[in-house]
Amino acid sequence: MDCKWQYKIVKIGKGAFKSDKTKIAEMEEALNRLGLERWELVNIQDREFATAAYLKRRV
């Protein structure tokens, strides 16, 4: 079976995991909304200069 994927990179902000619980809750809410659109979280990178979420979904 030949699967085709669509990819998405979402910049969450700077040092998102070092923030307070409110910021983390907002991040979870955003990822849950994307999940409803069939996006699957593949990876997340929390760097000093930015936090990015990498997502994919079948097309």
d(CA 43, CA 40): 9
Range of the domain at 41: 5-58
Domain count, the chain: 1
d(CA 35, CA 4): 18
Q: State pTM to two decimals.
A: 0.79
CA dihedral 41, 29, 10, 13 (to 10 degrees): -130
d(CA 59, CA 52): 22
Q: pLDDT tens across 2-54, in order? A: 889 999 999 887 766 666 676 788 888 999 999 999 999 999 998 878 889 99
d(CA 50, CA 12): 7
